[in-house]
Amino acid sequence: MIKQIENNSVKEKSRALAVIQDDEGFNWSDFLPEEEYGFNKVKPSAFVVIVKEKTKEEILKEKTYRERCIVGYRIEQLEKEYEEAKNYGRYDKKRECYVNSKGEPVFHPKEVVYNDILAVIPLSGELYSNVAKDKKYEKKLDKIIRDVMTASLRQRDEERMKKNVENLVDELKKVVEEEKVEGEKEEEAVGEEVVTEKQ
């Protein structure tokens, strides 16, 4: 949407006309209807472009059958990697998950959020234009998709880390309280010894 700012009033426009230095002195009325653009009535004005970010729902509505098939294929691929890792017993105790032959975490497809993956898959035109611009785009896209697929795993790890930190803090508080109690008991014992020595 384009808004025209003119004398502190805002008017919405459906199209904009931009004039650059090379255009100055050129008569556009030969090419564009004068009554529609009003070249004789042009007042100094500025145009502001408002960029509206799409919501996740709007992005998902735009996706075509092609993008949905890609997501289905990626989930099937993950399931095969998971079954292979399970059969070969490639379990990583540190991350508490199975890993594929490359050492990347794999998990059951039920843990994958379909709409999250679909949201990052680009439309055909966007994909082909980005591939033409950047030769490494496909590898970057694969990494982005894998990151989204493993997001639930990372979230689980973060929750586990928070819980471990909370438990550690609680244990430290208990140790500090025990030390205080022992310190008070020692002070009382020392105080009683001093009193008995004076007598």
- Structure confidence by residue, pLDDT tens digits, 71-99: 889 889 888 988 998 898 888 888 778 88
- 90: exposed, middle or buried (Cβ count in 10 Å: 0-12, 13-18, 19+): middle
Domain boundaries in the chain?
2-49, 56-155
Output the pLDDT for position 43.
47
pLDDT digits (tens, 9 = 90+) for 120-161: 889 888 888 988 998 899 899 888 888 888 887 777 777 878
% the chain with pLDDT above 90 = 4
**Cα gap 9→76, rounded to integer Å:** 56
pLDDT at 1 over 50: no
Is residue 44 over pLDDT 50? no
Give the model's pLDDT for residue 136.
92
- In this predicted structure, what is the pLDDT of residue 104? 84
Distance CA 115, CA 95 (A): 25
d(CA 193, CA 185): 12
Q: Does pTM top 0.85 for this prediction?
A: no
Q: 3-state DSSP call for residue 79?
A: helix
Size (the chain), residues: 199
Bridge partners of residue 11, in order along the sequence: 4
Mean pLDDT of the chain: 76
